[in-house]
């Protein structure tokens, strides 16, 4: 059995107000003297892992952007036709999306920098380097008790484990940098991008308003337009109440941006009224890699034992090699002190 918990942090505000700097400042100033939310969150996760001696962990990360209402994989930009799916076990998710297994903070930062290089950035009337898309950096943290072994009565299936005697906890951390709301611009391309950005942010504001009206989470009634934009659709798991959510609102100190600043503050006031009831869900997730690798090893051990009985030396050697490879894979991908 697996257990799922979700945490989400996103930055909201007009263009050139400092959202990207707050979220990923490390990658723009070239120093760690003022790290943003993402590098601090990554360090926090690995610090916790070092202190937690009774568990072993496996981490995987993905990075996507929503550009002109099209979802793109920033870690595999050549991948096309990314779609949003939903099922009862995993909720809303994007597929096919590349996930990279990481074991150090440096590896995580390397993947983020790779993704940032593929992100849509352009100069605007207000900012020399402006984000033209919403980005979602996702870290999945798997954990299980050390020395816990899966039940040998449940065999590995190519699609993934269906049940195991050992439980795996899945924690999902979403760190989101929203593109800024914009007024009309002189560039036709920027104007088109701005239209998509403003529409998705307007939908986000509408969803937040609906969630705060008439105690939605208490009466569980009414239509919430999550499907009106890719952004709110992907954020549905987080905004539906079953997650811990933090929102960073940024405003510009300039007098000419006072209208946008007021709108941002109104959004912040609405967000504060959203009531979430985060709790850990029991799910069956075929993507729990710790569980999958252990079951593969158990399956190979069983085959090796049966081969020993039949004295098939050639088959025994082949299975021994496969077993050694699987153990090496687990040792490399598990994070230990």
Q: Which of 54-68, 142-156, 159-173 has the highest mean pLDDT?
A: 54-68
Q: Are 160 and 172 in contact (CB under 8 A)?
A: no
The proportion of the chain whose per-residue pLDDT surpasses 90, expressed as a percent, equals 19
Average pLDDT for 264-275: 87
310 carries a ligand binding annotation: no
pTM: 0.74
261 carries a ligand binding annotation: no
Give the separation between CA 298 and CA 150, rounded to whole angstroms. Answer: 8
Q: Does residue 46 carry a pLDDT above 60?
A: yes
Asked if the bond preceding 333 is cis, omega within 30° of 0, the reply is no
17 carries a ligand binding annotation: yes
7 carries a ligand binding annotation: no
State the pLDDT confidence band at 152, using cuts at 50, 70 and 90.
Answer: very low
The proportion of the chain whose per-residue pLDDT surpasses 70, expressed as a percent, equals 65
Between residues 31 and 246, the one the model is more confident about? 246
Q: Report pLDDT for 194.
A: 79
Q: What is the CATH number of domain 6-146+166-283?
A: 3.40.850.10
Q: Does residue 14 carry a pLDDT above 80?
A: yes
Q: Does residue 12 carry a pLDDT above 60?
A: yes
Q: Does residue 207 carry a pLDDT above 80?
A: yes
Average pLDDT for 86-91: 77
Between residues 82 and 215, the one the model is more confident about? 82
Least confident window among 101-115, 168-182, 300-314: 300-314
Looking up tokens 């945490």 gives: 7
Q: Which of 121-125, 129-133, 165-169, 206-210 has the highest mean pLDDT?
A: 206-210
Domain ranges of the chain: 6-146+166-283, 284-336
Q: Report pLDDT for 168.
A: 80
Q: How far is CA 54 from CA 18, 49, 80, 81, 337, in A?
A: 40, 10, 41, 41, 11
Q: How far is CA 6 from CA 1, 95, 265, 271, in A?
A: 17, 19, 26, 18
State the pLDDT confidence band at 22, using cuts at 50, 70 and 90.
Answer: confident
13 carries a ligand binding annotation: yes
State the pLDDT confidence band at 252, using cuts at 50, 70 and 90.
Answer: confident
Structure-token pair, residue 296: 């593969």
State the pLDDT confidence band at 37, using cuts at 50, 70 and 90.
Answer: confident
Q: Report pLDDT for 71.
A: 94
Q: Cα 200 to chain center, whole Å? A: 19
Least confident window among 206-215, 237-246, 297-306: 297-306
Q: Report pLDDT for 47.
A: 93
Q: Is 139 exposed, middle or buried (0-12, 13-18, 19+ CB in 10 A)?
A: buried
Structure-token pair, residue 125: 């009337």
18 carries a ligand binding annotation: yes
What residues pair up with 48 in beta bridges, in sequence order?
Answer: none
- Residue 119's CB: how many other CB atoms inside 10 A? 19
State the pLDDT confidence band at 332, using cuts at 50, 70 and 90.
Answer: very low
16 carries a ligand binding annotation: yes
Least confident window among 25-34, 81-90, 167-176: 25-34
Q: Does residue 28 carry a pLDDT above 50?
A: no
């Amino acid at each position: 059995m697996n257990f799922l918990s979700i945490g989400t942090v996103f930055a909201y505000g007009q263009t050139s107000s400092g959202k990207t700097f707050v979220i990923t400042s490390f990658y723009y100033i070239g120093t760690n003297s003022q790290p943003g939310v993402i590098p601090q969150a990554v360090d926090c996760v690995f610090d916790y892992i070092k202190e937690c001696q009774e568990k072993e962990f496996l981490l995987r990360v993905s990075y996507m952007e929503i550009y002109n209402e099209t979802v793109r994989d920033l870690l595999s930009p050549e991948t096309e036709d990314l779609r949003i799916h939903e099922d009862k076990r995993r909720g809303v998710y994007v597929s096919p999306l590349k996930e990279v297994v990481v074991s150090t903070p440096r590896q995580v930062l390397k993947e983020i920098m790779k993704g940032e290089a593929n992100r849509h950035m352009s100069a605007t009337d207000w900012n020399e380097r402006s984000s033209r898309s919403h980005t979602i950096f996702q870290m999945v943290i798997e954990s299980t008790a050390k020395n816990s072994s899966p039940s040998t009565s449940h065999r590995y299936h190519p699609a993934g484990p269906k049940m195991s005697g050992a439980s795996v906890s899945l924690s999902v951390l979403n760190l989101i940098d929203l593109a800024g709301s914009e007024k009309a611009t002189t560039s036709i391309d920027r104007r088109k991008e701005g239209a998509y950005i403003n529409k998705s942010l307007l939908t986000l504001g509408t969803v937040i308003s609906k969630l705060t009206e008439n105690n939605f989470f208490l009466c569980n009634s009414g239509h919430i337009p999550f499907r009106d934009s890719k952004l709110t659709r992907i954020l549905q798991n987080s905004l539906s109440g079953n997650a811990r959510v933090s929102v960073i609102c940024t405003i510009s100190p300039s007098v000419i941006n006072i209208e946008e600043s007021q709108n941002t503050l109104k959004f912040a006031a609405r967000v504060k009224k959203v009531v979430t009831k985060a709790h850990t869900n029991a799910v069956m997730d075929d993507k729990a890699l710790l569980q999958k690798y252990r079951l593969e090893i158990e399956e190979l051990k069983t085959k090796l034992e049966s081969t020993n009985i039949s004295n098939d030396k050639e088959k025994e050697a082949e299975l021994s090699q496969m077993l050694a490879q699987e153990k090496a894979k687990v040792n490399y991908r598990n994070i230990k002190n």
